[in-house]
Amino acid sequence: MIEKIIEITKKLISFKTTSDNYEELNKALLYISDMFKKFNKVKIYKYKSNKKPSLVITNLKNKDRSFDYILNGHIDVVPAKYQNAFNPMIKNNKLYGRGAMDMKSEIAVMCVVFMNLIELKTNKKIALMITSDEETGGFDGTRYLVEDVGYRAKCVILPDDGFYHKITIKEKGVLHLKIIAKGKSAHGSRPWLGKNSIEEIINIFMEIKKIFPKKFNKNKWINTLNIGKINGGMATNVVPDYAEAYLDVRFINKNDKTKIIEKIKKILKKYKNSHYQIIVEGDPLINDLNNFYIKKFLKIANKHKIKFNYHYGHGASDGRFFSKYNIPVIMWRPKSSEAHINNEWVDIKSLEKYYQILKEFLLTC
């Protein structure tokens, strides 16, 4: 089966599926759906939200949206400027290319496992869900399919976090804010005649920063703040009358989001010409280690000589949209490089192991 997995992965890598390349996104999803057309007992559903295409393939004859398992993956990748990024290459038992580990190889494994289970006439209700906007937030992909269309499962397989010997049990929540400050323009040589909005943004940020821990602890599992961008001003010799800053907040507990927002509101009351906007928000992902599916997966992996440590994810994934409904999300990856790097790679032997564990899990649980 590994030959088939490599074949599919290489083909998927060849599609330049950046989030704004709708033609290539649709081509990649068409390639996946065409693989399943030979099966009489599958239904293929195509969705679109704000131009973002998604694909759901099920082994149910009816339009039921509740499943035993959902296999979830995203076909979109971050842009790549290095040469041959979309020309897959195998070297030293590693498969290279943009999306090799994030996450076209995992999609290939899920496709092959799902086809195997269809051929074995499994009685498990399974959906393969492939989206195209995870790298830009997942709102028109997984969020749309879960919250608007209504897909549910007893367990979700989502190999978009974790490591070969680490399974993700938690991910931080995310809150992206825009802070806006307005001032009064004047000539830069006479700043006392104006009100500098950039200075106000800086003062606001320094106060907000005090809400968060001053130092990172050893495992860094704390609420964090990053200022990612500041816009404002027209020229060096003009006092700016408008400025905005974009903040990235990550929080570990669901109720922390409300507390942080309330504290920011209190700070902004001191600055009459300022306000904030929420750009992106998402709750943390939290898996219950006593959940039946999590325990069973760990047991099967151990049988295959994969013993996991627990991983806490600092970033956010589409898993948060399932976790919101208390659906366990199994997040574990084959051996690979880091995501979003030049010469991204996945280890081929570990892909085969991933296939074996996933297939046994879906057949026996």
Confidence of residue 26 (pLDDT cuts 50, 70, 90): very high
Q: What is the pLDDT of residues 221-275, one digit of tens each?
A: 999 999 999 999 999 999 999 999 999 999 999 999 999 999 999 999 999 899 9
Question: Which residues have C-beta within 8 Å of that of residue 58, sequence separation ≥ 6?
Answer: 42, 43, 45, 67, 125, 126, 127, 128
pLDDT tens per residue across span 182-200: 999 999 999 999 999 999 9
Q: Is residue 215 over pLDDT 90?
A: no
What is the maximum span of the chain, computed from C-alpha positions, in angstroms? 79
Dihedrals phi, psi of 167, to nearest 5 degrees? -105, 135
55 pLDDT band, cuts 50/70/90, is very high
Cα(150)–Cα(281) distance, integer angstroms: 20
What topology does CATH give the domain 173-282?
Answer: Alpha-Beta Plaits (3.30.70)
User: Residue 81 — very low, low, confident or very high, per pLDDT cuts 50/70/90?
Assistant: confident
Across 301-321, average pLDDT = 93
Token pair belonging to 364: 């026996």
Tell whether the model's pLDDT for residue 65 goes beyond 90: yes
Q: Average pLDDT for residues 316-326, to the nearest whole number?
A: 94
Query: Can you give the pLDDT at residue 144?
Result: 98
CA angle, 254 then 259 then 263, to 5°: 150
Q: How far apart are CA 142 and CA 128, in angstroms?
A: 12
Q: How confident is the model at residue 153 (pLDDT cuts 50, 70, 90)?
A: very high
Assess whether pLDDT exceeds 90 at residue 216: no
CATH architecture of the domain with residue range 2-171+284-364: 3-Layer(aba) Sandwich (3.40)
pLDDT at 217 > cutoff 80: no
- Does residue 287 carry a pLDDT above 90? yes
Domain ranges of the chain: 2-171+284-364, 173-282
Region of 341 (left: φ > 0; alpha: ψ -120 to 50; beta: rest) is beta
pLDDT tens per residue across span 108-144: 999 999 999 999 999 999 999 999 999 999 999 999 9
* CA 94 from centre of chain: 24
Q: Residue for token digits 């295959």? A: 304
* 40-58 mean pLDDT: 96
pLDDT of residue 314: 92
pLDDT computed for residue 86 by the predictor: 96
Which helix or strand (DSSP H or E) is residue 143 part of?
A: helix 142-143
Three-class secondary structure of residue 14 per DSSP: helix
User: What is the percent of the chain with per-residue pLDDT over 70, rounded to a whole number?
Assistant: 100
pLDDT of residue 345: 97
Is-same-fold flag (2-171+284-364; 173-282)?
no
pLDDT at 122: 95
Spatial distance between the Cα atoms of 170 and 316, rounded to a whole number of angstroms: 10
User: How many angstroms separate the CA atoms of 319 and 327, rounded?
Assistant: 9
Where residue 91 falls among pLDDT bands split at 50, 70, 90?
A: very high
**What pLDDT shows up at residue 62?**
87
The values of phi and psi at residue 342, to 5°, are -65, 145
- The rounded radius of gyration (Å) of the Cα atoms in the chain is 23
Q: Are 162 and 170 in contact (CB under 8 A)?
A: no
Q: What value does the mean pLDDT take over residues 171-175? A: 96
